[in-house]
Amino acid sequence: MIKVCLADNYPVVHFGVKSYFKDHAEISIVANVGNFLMVRDILLTKEIDVLILDLELEGLSSIFEVKSVLKNFPKTKIIIFSGLSEQIYAPNAIKAGVSGFIHKKEKLETLGISIIKVHQGKIIINETVKKNLALIAKQSKSERLYRKLSNREVEVLRYLSDGKKNHEIAEILKLNEKTISTYKLRLLTKLNVTNLVDLVNKAKTLEIV
């Protein structure tokens, strides 16, 4: 039996996933957590084969924290189960070491199949993501600008788009405020804009945030 922990903000997601897998022959939801701080506690006290994780989970501020979990608990595979843009976050998540990315619009059947495959050691990027990446490769240079952005730059841009100030982002990501300013300047240059308003609008147009 594959032991799974679901880490998500919303009770309705927990209820739906747990109900769906209640009588599954191969998958058992053995833990449910509502914030990132609880993830480590669960992994320390229970044997978890696969962690289903939402990138917008409360307490999770950076993909680098996910990398830390993978480093400290190498026997646990991670599948990102999120509503965030696949074309942006799936490649970055896979690069960080997670074993799969499933968008929340997918059926739970797809999630179940992915859990089994990931447990077998496979890397899962669903067909929707693959098609999106294929389409993006054919887009214009301006439409592919996001591909030049690092994981950290995408994170900073996401928080800037949420209206957070440099010092707030620095506190969230545990970085120096000057470092955030540097990332902001890089973003302005890479997305070819001159101010924060245009930066946020460009990011939204390209579905980076």
- 150-181 confidence digits (pLDDT tens): 888 888 998 999 899 999 999 999 899 999 99
Q: Cα angle at 136 between 143 and 142, to 5 degrees?
A: 15
Every domain of the chain and the residues it spans:
1-135, 149-204
Cα–Cα distance for residue pair 62/154, rounded to 1 Å: 10
CA 44 remoteness from chain centre: 22
CATH architecture of the domain with range 149-204: Orthogonal Bundle (1.10)
**Per-chain mean pLDDT for the chain:** 87
Cα–Cα distance for residue pair 155/160, rounded to 1 Å: 9
Helix, strand or coil, per DSSP, at residue 26: coil
User: What pLDDT was estimated at residue 205?
Assistant: 77
pLDDT band, very low/low/confident/very high, at 125 (cuts 50, 70, 90): confident
144-151 long-range contacts, CB within 8 A, separation 24+: 145/190, 145/191, 145/192, 145/206, 146/87, 146/88, 146/206, 146/208, 148/190, 149/187, 149/190, 149/208, 151/63, 151/64, 151/92, 151/95, 151/96
For 1-135, the fitting CATH number among 3.30.465.10, 3.40.50.2300, 3.40.50.300, 3.90.1150.10 is: 3.40.50.2300
CA atoms within 13 A on the CB side of 42: 23
Q: What is the pLDDT of residues 60-79, one digit of tens each?
A: 988 889 999 999 999 999 99
Average pLDDT over residues 80-107: 87
Average pLDDT over residues 54-59: 92
Question: Quick check: 137 pLDDT over 70?
Answer: no
pLDDT band, very low/low/confident/very high, at 36 (cuts 50, 70, 90): very high
Crossing angle of the two packed helices 63-72 and 151-161, in degrees rounded to 10 = 130
CA quadruple 4, 52, 81, 74: dihedral, nearest 10: -130
User: What pLDDT was estimated at residue 177?
Assistant: 92
Beta bridge partners of 138: none
DSSP 208: -
